[in-house]
Amino acid sequence: MKTPTKQLWREEFSVFAGEDRYVQRRQFTKFLMLTSVGMFAGNLWILVRSWFSNPRAVFPEQTVARAGEIPVGAVKLFTYPTPQDHCILVHTRSGQYTAFSQKCTHLSCAVYYSAKNDRLECPCHEGYFSVLDGTVLQGPPPRPLPRVQLEQRGDELIAIGMGT
């Protein structure tokens, strides 16, 4: 008398093999929770590092130009605070000296001074900035140009920091 043999293939190969491709709700929820916890831990790490980092950047003092060197309506290009940071100094029509980072706040194209329009212009996407305070006049730039803080000592114009 033969004993009925169990069909081993039924144990090794699921009848519902087609459904194994789909992600179960429980698996999806686990994935979302683990991803969320990982992102939270990463943001927490960035926050803690920013608390313990050096809060104040120290900017060097650098002579940029002499007061009579630049005629009204003209510009001078210089680098500040590092040789990789290009800036533009403008002697405005009102007789003031203003200086800004030359990097557009939209996509980092170089801005230039348009004496005809008395504004700083970005040729890449037609972004325009005020020559007096660096605020956005028109175009896609999301924020004003970073301003170079100037101090006049005698006839020297000295860059003393960066601000807004």
- Residue 75, helix vs strand vs coil: strand
State residue 51's pLDDT score: 84
Share of the chain above pLDDT 90, in %: 68
Model-level pTM greater than 0.75?
no
Mean pLDDT of the chain: 88
Q: Are 131 and 145 in contact (CB under 8 A)?
A: no
Residue 164 is which amino acid? Answer: T
Comparison of pLDDT for 119 and 12, the residue scoring more = 119
Sheet holding 147-153, edge to edge: 62-66, 156-163, 147-153, 97-101, 86-91, 75-79
pLDDT at 109 over 70: yes
Give the C-alpha separation, 158 to 150, whole Å: 6
State residue 30's pLDDT score: 92
State residue 2's pLDDT score: 57
How many residues in the chain?
164
Residue 1 is which amino acid? Answer: M
State residue 113's pLDDT score: 95
Give the C-alpha separation, 105 to 107, whole Å: 6
State residue 35's pLDDT score: 96
> Using one digit for the tens of pLDDT, what is the confidence trace for 15-59?
666 666 677 888 889 999 999 999 999 999 999 988 887 666 688
